[in-house]
Structure 1
Amino acid sequence: MPTLPIVLIVLAIAVAAYLLARSRAQRAAAREGRRLHSLPNYYGWTGALYAAGPALLLLAVWLVAQPVATRMAVWPVLEAEAAPNAQPALLMADVQRLAAGIDAAVASGRVPAAEAGDIPAEELRELMAGQGVALGSDVTPATRQAALRWRGLSAGGDLARTLAVIGLALVGAAFGVSRAKPDFRARNAVETAMRGTLIGAALLAILTTVGIVLALIFNTIEFFRLYPAAEFFFGSTWSPSFGGGSELGILPLLWGTLYISIIALLVAVPIGLFAAIYLAEYAHKNVRSWAKPMLEMLAGIPTIVYGLFALLTVGPLLVDLFGRNGALGVNWMQGGTAVMTAGLVMGIMLIPFVSSLSDDIINAVPQSLRDGSLGLGATRSETVRQVVLPAALPGIVGAVLLAASRAIGETMIVVLGAGAAARLSMNPFDAMTTVTAKIVSQLTGDADFSSPEALVAFALGMTLFVITLALNVVALWIVRRYREQYE
């Protein structure tokens, strides 16, 4: 049975357990002439949690473990016939596609279920082509046998999963209903279950972060086993080649990342901060009511749209100004893709990050500070400059650093607006690229993930992670150093 019907059945059982447990607790209290320890709803929630909680947890674990166990059971069928340089993941992907194609053919009635194992190879490929699925290898006897075994194990696992999950839900519902007695501390049980759920969610987020970091670390270590670390960190040439002879120096990519981010921040920080000061300190409430949402709409525009705006509008405009035949009569810009193009557009994209956060931070400054400054004879501008901004400085620094992190991690605007050239140049009208853009390019296409040209993407990601972490540490130090305490 598919996952969604199982979930719906479990939820239906949980609803029934809720009603039965609540009703049983009330009847028991009336029969024994006693008061319930908790409100009736808590007894119902106890029954529902016992019914749904363990069953859904088992379903989640089963969905993760079944494909792994199936692959381990099917791989020996392919291992004897696999080529020495074959990639198990690709072979198993073909097996899964073939098994899905056979299932679809049987379900549609084109092939009887009893004859699923006797379909000729050419007919199998036609069936797969009819479903718009292409196999990466030929349909060999081992592939066919592995696909049939995959079908059998998957069908058995699905049936066992359905019976186990629904059975556990029924058992949990019966146990939860049986505990619905007047002296049962249902509220405590529900609060304990909710606390466990919250702890589990927090642990899941932490473990996800740890998993991402470990994946970066292990693949980065593997890369440095194949490519010298000194050449990676201090090399000034970026010239990957999957045929061999690559030069993978990160310095041009780091320079392009920092250069574009600096230009973006030079655009976003003044405009965003001045807009936040106006909205918080000077704007009438009617102006603020429509101006702030209009600014925040910039954050909802997809980055691909910004990239197209850079490519089709900003780039040609800059060429018209700074190109060979431009209005200014200089020859600084050879094409529309340049650091300045990406930096300007990225700065526009970052304005709402700075303005919205800074506006909220400025509004959080106590009004008593403003009143005291104005009472001492300071003007509104002096109050903003000498009282409000110093008090809001830590938060504003956090907003700027958030915008910087957003700029460092941007990809689409760079790809479309800055070009793909990795170079060390001070000219802002030259085409350059960034670390994130090269991560995408190195992992795009039929890359051999055991080669340094593919593994370098993880080294680039690890470097970017360390830089961002250092940036956050500096920001934390600044916030703690200059933080203002108010009662």
Structure 2
Amino acid sequence: MPTLWLVLIVVALGAVGYVLGRARALATAGGDNRKLHSLPTYYGSNVAMKTIVPAMGVLVLWLLVQPFVVNSTVSGMMPDNAVSEDTTLGLVMSDVRRVADGLDAAVASGIMSADEARNLRTEFTDVRARLGAAGVALGSDVSPEVLRAAQRFRSLNGTGRLLMTVLVLGAAIAGGIWSVMQSHMDYRARNVVEAGIKALLVTAASLAVLTTIGIVLSLIFNTIEFFQRYPAKEFFFSLVWSPSFGGGSELGILPLLWGTLYISLIALLVAVPIGLFAAIYLSEYAGPKVRAIAKPLLEVLAGIPTIVYGLFALLTVGPLLLSVFGADGAGWMKAGTAVMTAGLVMGIMLIPFVSSLSDDIINAVPQSMRDGSYGLGATKSETIRQVVVPAALPGIVGAILLAASRAIGETMIVVLGAGAAARLSLNPFEAMTTVTAKIVSQLTGDADFSSPEALVAFALGMSLFVITLGLNVFALYIVRKYREQYE
């Protein structure tokens, strides 16, 4: 049974349980609400909670565990000769999943029956032709081992889905029956429901922390594995980035780090002055009507997807800069993809980020400080320059650092606007690349996670994580340390 249907059935059982629990509680009290320990809704909520929560817990746990069990079982049945010197078990398992998906698609579309897919042999020229006509490609190099493993993969997944359906519905029905039997007028349903809601809130709050820990651990373990296969000294101090999946790669992070910082610097040079001046105007000069219109229009930039900014850089800003600084102009620029192209567009993207944070920070400066400055005879501009901005400066610096961390982690604008050349150069009109762009390129396609060329993506991600984490911590430190002086 599809997971969505299963979830809907469990929710429907919870709704039925709510009605039954509420009705049973009222029945035990003779229809008099005053005899109940809790309100009738609590009795219904108790049944719905004990119906849905255990079933969803089983469902989530099963969906997390089943892929590991199936992959481990199928990979264990692969013979030694299935993994040659030119491939790895990871790539073979990728082929197994691809073939299994193709067989599932063929069965779902009616091209072949379930029995035919289960008993398929490697001599299936006519079947491959039918699958190809339907857009399902199994390829001509499917070995007997891979085909058998794919069939076993499908079988285990089907069995797992059936067991999951039985267990989830069983947990929902058992919880519903048990909680309905508890629904009598002396049962403390309100206490149970409130304790359950508190546990749910704690779980939701813990998920963010656990997700962060999981991300960090996945990066750490794969980074350690990378440094076991590639020297850390070469990674951190080499000036060459030249990956080669055939061997002989040079994986120095410095060219990528230079491109990242260079593009981010240009972006900040664009975003900080414009965003800060916009924030000062909106908070100090604009009237309520102008502010009500201008601020939402400025923040529309924050809602534009980064891929759209990337296309804007590729199709508009790049050709515009090329016409001015290219061969027909100053002669400094050879192509539309360059550091300047990505930096300008990224700066435009960061303007609402800087302006919104700075506007909130400037508005937080007490009005009494402005009034005191006016009382001493200062003009409005003098008050802004000598009182408001210095008072808000720690928060503004924190906003700039947060914008810098946002710029460092940007990908799509860099991919489409800056090019893919990993080089150390001071010329902003040359193509360069960043850490995030190379993470994408190294993990595109069927990556072999036993090779340094694929594992380097995790080392790059860990390096970027440490840099952005440091910027965020420093920004929050500045904001929290100095904000209290003006409260």
User: What TM-score, normalized by structure 1, do the two folds share?
Assistant: 0.91
In structure 2, relative to structure 1, the CA distance for the partners of 1:168 and 1:447 (3 Å cut) is closer
Aligned to 1:384: 384
Matches within 5 A, 1:74-113: 74-85=74-85, 86-103=87-104, 105-106=106-107, 111=112, 113=114
**Helix, strand or coil at the partner of 1:78:** coil
**Helix, strand or coil at the partner of 2:62:** helix
**Helix, strand or coil at the partner of 2:29:** helix
Matches within 5 A, 1:148-297: 148-297=151-300
Cα deviation code 1:109-150 (max 9, x no counterpart): 554555554444324433442442333674444344334433
Residues 406-415 or 177-186, more deviating: 177-186
Cα deviation code 1:260-319 (max 9, x no counterpart): 111110110110011011111111222112211111111122222222322332233333
Cα deviation code 1:410-450 (max 9, x no counterpart): 12222222222222222222322211122222223454432
Which residue identity does 2:19 align to in structure 1?
L
The answer on whether the counterparts of 1:342 and 1:414 sit within 8 Å (CA) in structure 2 is: yes
Aligned to 2:393: 393
Shift of 1:46: 0.8
The answer on whether the counterparts of 1:50 and 1:173 sit within 8 Å (CA) in structure 2 is: yes
The answer on whether the counterparts of 1:94 and 1:137 sit within 8 Å (CA) in structure 2 is: no
The answer on whether the counterparts of 2:94 and 2:446 sit within 8 Å (CA) in structure 1 is: no
CA distance in 1, matches of 2:116, 2:267: 64
Cα deviation code 1:305-364 (max 9, x no counterpart): 2223223322333333333442xxx44333322222221111111101111222222223
CA distance in 2, matches of 1:224, 1:68: 26
User: What TM-score, normalized by structure 2, do the two folds share?
Assistant: 0.91
CA distance in 1, matches of 2:118, 2:435: 49
Cα deviation code 1:237-268 (max 9, x no counterpart): 22222333322222222111111111110110
Which residue identity does 1:3 align to in structure 2?
T
CA distance in 1, matches of 2:211, 2:96: 29
Name the count of aligned residue pairs. 484
Cα deviation code 1:70-97 (max 9, x no counterpart): 2333334323551244433443344444
CA RMSD in angstroms comes to: 2.6
Query: Taking every aligned residue pair, what percent have the same amino acid on both sides?
Result: 67
Aligned to 2:428: 428
1:27 is the counterpart of 2:30 = no
Give structure 2 stretches of 5+ with no counterpart.
Answer: none
Shift of 1:18: 0.9
Shift of 1:480: 3.4
The answer on whether the counterparts of 2:111 and 2:130 sit within 8 Å (CA) in structure 1 is: no
In structure 2, relative to structure 1, the CA distance for the partners of 1:379 and 1:177 (3 Å cut) is farther
The answer on whether the counterparts of 1:10 and 1:55 sit within 8 Å (CA) in structure 2 is: yes
Aligned to 1:298: 301
In structure 2, relative to structure 1, the CA distance for the partners of 1:192 and 1:360 (3 Å cut) is same
Residues 304-313 or 457-466, more deviating: 304-313
In structure 2, relative to structure 1, the CA distance for the partners of 1:150 and 1:343 (3 Å cut) is closer
CA distance in 1, matches of 2:69, 2:325: 62
CA distance in 2, matches of 1:33, 1:341: 70
Shift of 1:49: 0.3
In structure 2, relative to structure 1, the CA distance for the partners of 1:339 and 1:138 (3 Å cut) is closer
Aligned to 1:405: 405
Shift of 1:102: 4.3
The answer on whether the counterparts of 1:101 and 1:131 sit within 8 Å (CA) in structure 2 is: no
